[in-house]
Structure 1
Amino acid sequence: MTVTEPVGALVRKWRLRRQRSQLDVSVAADLSTRHLSYIETGRAMPSRQMIERLCEELDVPLRERNAFYLAAGFAPAYAERAYADLAAARTAVEAVLTGLEPHPALAVNVRWELLAANRAMAVFLDGVPDELRRPPLNVLRATLHPDGLAGRISNLGQWRGHVLRRIRRQLASTAADGLADLLAELESYPAPHDDGSVPYDGLVIPLRLSFGGGELSFLYTTTVFGAPLDVTLDEIAIEAFFPADATTADVLQDMLKEFA
């Protein structure tokens, strides 16, 4: 990791990103407003303990916390292991994915690159052309690219708008490397007009996908690890898709019989 900003500038950047005042943060982190001002302007250097307190208060992702430590002259506090080296955590991810069958589910990193998927999700990804499946397979690229699943999404305008809003919020929250480029790429794909003709129940926006001569409708949930201490684990999310209607539930149950 290359750090190009002093630690005070990082503190200020994340404080402003979270739309917090110096007074608010200083009270919450138990330091004086003057001390926080001195840290931000470089007149004072925070200790390791102070960095962690400020990062906790500003909800800074673990990857970015390491940048704080390096900028202050300390060693990074959080390790970053490859997904294959996460041991019990990887086993837990794959157990969750298997346990969710026949509901499609996958694990992605912060850039939406596929880490693992269950058999039900693999059925749907089989429809993605080889050029979009080359590792690392990006789930959102495979979904919204004109040559990917986009042609099978009946409410593409509606779903595309939801996905883009989600990525913008994620980028604002995490500032993760690669997300801005991914967002720009997704925004460059042809934008279908959403005329509101595809109904939904007003609670959530479903993913409506053509499959086997019919249409399946999915709701989704996102699961993350609690209290992670590894950068890779901090960035893993499990996306699970559940039936939004009886027809979809029946198709998934039939799929389960095929897996048995």
Structure 2
Amino acid sequence: MTTTTEPVGALVRRWRERRRRSQLDVSLAAELSTRHLSCIETGRANPSRDMIRRLCDELDVPLRERNALYLAAGFAPAHPERALADLGAARAAVEAVLAGHEPNPALAVNVRWELLAANRAMGLFLGAGAGEPADPPFNVLKATLHPDGLAGRIRNLPQWRAHVLRRVRRQLDRTSAAGLAELLAELESCPAPRADAGEVAPPGPADDLVVPLLLSTEYGELALLYTTTVFGSPRDVTLDEIAIETFFPADPGTAATLRALAAP
């Protein structure tokens, strides 16, 4: 859980500025006066528990950071944090999505892209292309961009690396999650290939729609698209930070290869 010694007003102001919202805009949306919001931010007024909830809802503050605001205001945290194994129906939903996505790769990660679970198809690529991490947990993005991981197999590495770094920067801006700034710095320190070094593959049918992952594997050349799924209206910190990444074939050859790998 995020802890802080900062007053609650400073945290509210920081999240408002992070969301690039004015005091007038937030006060109107959260149904309080601009003067009251100003007094909260400067410490001249203490927000109630309900007021913190309303401001956090309006500013889309992640649940882990909401707990920090409650603590800073002298209240008990509002959102529990359970292990994935203790999430009951939500865990079953994650497992159902991963299993149901076969023969295509899928995995579940937390806010720092640390691997929580993967289906068999994803395991083939993680095992084949990603070295064992020095310290657990296994970080999917480190394994992807590290020269000893999948980076040497990614045919459009300059394009994919730039895309990954943008995702991490957006995640850091949106969540301010602990460890993300360090992850971004480590990923940026991975060797950057030249855009003209020959890794960029010729454009394919999917390139006009999304950024594909073009991967050379022992099973052949693969082109993959991905989608991200998150839980709606989570109340648990762990659940709020889970994302399920599902990969789809971007061409008929990839689809045929994935089907063949899944065959008994």
Bucket of the pairwise TM-score, normalised by the shorter protein: over 0.9
| Inter-partner Cα distance in structure 1 for 2:201 and 2:121 | 29
Q: Is the alpha carbon distance of 1:130 and 1:154 closer, same or farther for their aligned partners in structure 2, counting shifts above 3 Å?
A: closer
8 A contact 1:127–1:148 mirrored in 2:
no
Q: Mark the runs of 5 or more structure 1 residues left unpaired by the alignment.
A: none
Q: Deviations over 1:117-147 (max 9, x none)?
A: 0000000011245432753100000111000
| Inter-partner Cα distance in structure 1 for 2:104 and 2:225 | 10
Post-superposition offset of 1:87: 1.5
Determine the structure 1 residue equivalent to 2:159: 158
8 A contact 1:106–1:239 mirrored in 2:
yes
Q: Percent identity?
A: 73
- Residue number among 203, 208, 217 corresponding to 2:214 in the alignment: 208
Q: Mark the runs of 5 or more structure 2 residues left unpaired by the alignment.
A: none
Task: Tell me which amino acid in the other structure corresponds to 2:16.
Answer: R
8 A contact 2:68–2:77 mirrored in 1:
yes
SS at match of 1:131: coil
| Inter-partner Cα distance in structure 2 for 1:2 and 1:240 | 33
Q: Deviations over 1:14-69 (max 9, x none)?
A: 00000000000000000000000000000000000000000000000000000010
8 A contact 2:155–2:201 mirrored in 1:
no
SS at match of 2:58: helix
Describe how 1:25-174 pairs up with structure 2 within 5 A.
25-128=26-129, 130-132=131-133, 135-174=136-175
Determine the structure 2 residue equivalent to 1:10: 11
- Residue number among 203, 228, 245 corresponding to 1:222 in the alignment: 228
8 A contact 1:133–1:142 mirrored in 2:
no
1:234 aligns with 2:240: yes
| Inter-partner Cα distance in structure 1 for 2:241 and 2:91 | 13
The alignment of Structure 1 onto Structure 2 pairs a total of residues equal to 258
RMSD of aligned alpha carbons: 1.3
8 A contact 1:132–1:148 mirrored in 2:
no
SS at match of 1:208: strand
Determine the structure 2 residue equivalent to 1:199: 203
TM-score (norm 1): 0.96
Q: Which of 171-180 and 191-200 deviates more?
A: 191-200
Q: Deviations over 1:200-243 (max 9, x none)?
A: 43211100011226310000000000110000000000001100
Q: Deviations over 1:153-181 (max 9, x none)?
A: 01111100000011101100110100000
Determine the structure 2 residue equivalent to 1:187: 188
Post-superposition offset of 1:185: 0.1
Post-superposition offset of 1:197: 5.4
Post-superposition offset of 1:257: 1.1
TM-score (norm 2): 0.95
